[in-house]
Amino acid sequence: MTEASLLDRSRTIAGPGYNRWLIPPAALAIHLAIGQAYAFSVFNKPLGSLISGDPANPAPDDWTPGQIGWTFSIAIVLLGLSAAVFGKWLERVGPRKAMMAASLCFGGGFLIGSLGVHLHSLALLYLGYGVVGGIGLGIGYISPVSTLIKWFPDRKGVATGMAIMGFGGGAMIGSPLAVALMDHFKGSAPQGVAPTFIVMGIIYLLFMQFGVWTIRVPADDWAPEGYVPSTEHDAMITTGNVSADNAIKTPQFWLLWVVLLTNVTAGIGVLETASPLIQNTFSEAAMGTGRGVTAAAAAGFVGLLSLFNLLGRFFWSSASDKLGRKTTYAIYFILGIILYALIPTLGAGLQLTLYVVAACVIISMYGGGFATAPAYLSDLFGKYQVGAIHGRLLTAWSTAGVLGPLIVHTLSEHAKEQNLAGAAAYQNVFYTMAGVLVVGLLANLAVRPVKEEYYEKGPVTIEAGGH
């Protein structure tokens, strides 16, 4: 028996009695690892002072924040592109081989990146963490999604919510882990970054192996005990199957693309500015001596947003099983529009508690938007190639990753030129994001069931244990 055969789809078909609740931990092992990407900023200062050794006084040859920032941007763009490109391959070869590829790319990306840090080669850092690691992100992100949907036809939102929650949690593990490792290796390498990259690459490679070897696909005729597909016809849940190639020809796919784009763009607006936002809005000048939000408290605010980002992924996605996907997204948008429009007023009125609550709810819906998307796709296009369709939808995320920060930086710069301070400096950001959400709301309202002409003709092999 060769190693390759162990990775084949046919070798991953679950035997009788296999407990489907083993699948979410397998998926979480992948998402908890690749979610580290959102903690990349923890390396910003150390990477920017590899030569000088002092983040406050970088040497002329030290990398600039802009140069370092590109590493994360490349990784996120590659995430979307690789998810789109490799989605159909994943459906064909199965989740185990895809997870193995993801683990090798993500872990390998760290190792190549460490060489880049050691040689002080920005190109190698981009190639390693950005390109190779980014491909690992994309394949890893979509690898468990369709498998989860097939195991949990009765709880699609719960299942995908659990996995995608892991992506939110990954940063919470990756950030303190990186800080601890850099501290440990500080004496042996500049800022301890290169050995930290090596250790993290190996840790993540091994951690992801748990997912690789635990994942199983259900047999063709498997169904959860007692599961009876609803006989009540819900027009928003298809009984047909649409291929990935046909899906992108439908207006529904592009409407959902806009839905994801707008939800993510608006959420990034808050995440990008969270720390300066709360410090400038609730500064000592505005609140009174000794009562302003400090840098440490702002970091706490960022941490709180991360927690709600994580919780929202599970809560909203699970709720969508009861509420329906379209209704859930309508809540994201309507509640989001109200809260975005309200936040500048809360800031101007120095209502710190309400301000924090509003931001947390917004971020929970940002996370929820990611987690609810696969189930929405499955409802509209069927299970046939839902992983590949999801991969293509993620290009909206890459686009939002550029668009969101662009909107925020442009409007913030404009506010600076007008000498606006405090809450006023950010009000245009929030009003613009409320407008962005209106576009998303309209797109979501326009989603209708997919026409039968796009369905696959005849029986399709839902690639579970089929071959």
State the residues that interact with another protein by CB under 8 A: 15-22, 25-26, 28-29, 32, 166, 169-176, 210, 214, 218-219, 221-225, 293-294, 296-304, 306-307, 310, 356
Q: Which one, of 20, 3, 5, 378, lies nearest residue 215 by Cα?
A: 20
Q: At what angle do helices 23-34 and 156-185 cross, to 10 degrees?
A: 40
CA angle 367, 312, 381 (to 5 degrees): 60
Least distance to another protein, CB of residue 32, Å: 6
Least distance to another protein, CB of residue 253, Å: 32
Least distance to another protein, CB of residue 307, Å: 6
- Measure the CA–CA gap between 24 and 150, rounded to whole angstroms: 12
- Measure the CA–CA gap between 175 and 189, rounded to whole angstroms: 19
Nearer of residues 35 and 128 to another protein, judged by Cβ:
35
Least distance to another protein, CB of residue 155, Å: 12
Structure tokens at 463: 């690639």
Nearer of residues 80 and 201 to another protein, judged by Cβ:
201
Least distance to another protein, CB of residue 203, Å: 10
Nearer of residues 19 and 231 to another protein, judged by Cβ:
19
E-assigned strand segments in 144-210:
none
Nearer of residues 175 and 250 to another protein, judged by Cβ:
175
Q: How far is CA 79 from the centre of its chain?
A: 10
Nearer of residues 43 and 210 to another protein, judged by Cβ:
210
Q: Which one, of 216, 221, 223, 222, lies nearest residue 10 by Cα?
A: 216
Least distance to another protein, CB of residue 292, Å: 8
Query: Based on C-alpha coordinates, what's the Rg of the chain?
Result: 23
Nearer of residues 225 and 453 to another protein, judged by Cβ:
225
Nearer of residues 32 and 450 to another protein, judged by Cβ:
32
DSSP notation for 290-321:
TTSPPHHHHHHHHHHHHHHHHHHHHHHHHHHH
- Measure the CA–CA gap between 32 and 229, rounded to whole angstroms: 32
Q: Which residues contact 328 (CB under 8 A, 6 or more apart)?
A: 316, 319, 320, 368, 372
Least distance to another protein, CB of residue 297, Å: 4
Q: How deeply is 238 buried, as exposed, middle or buried, from its count of CB atoms within 10 A (0-12, 13-18, 19+)?
A: buried
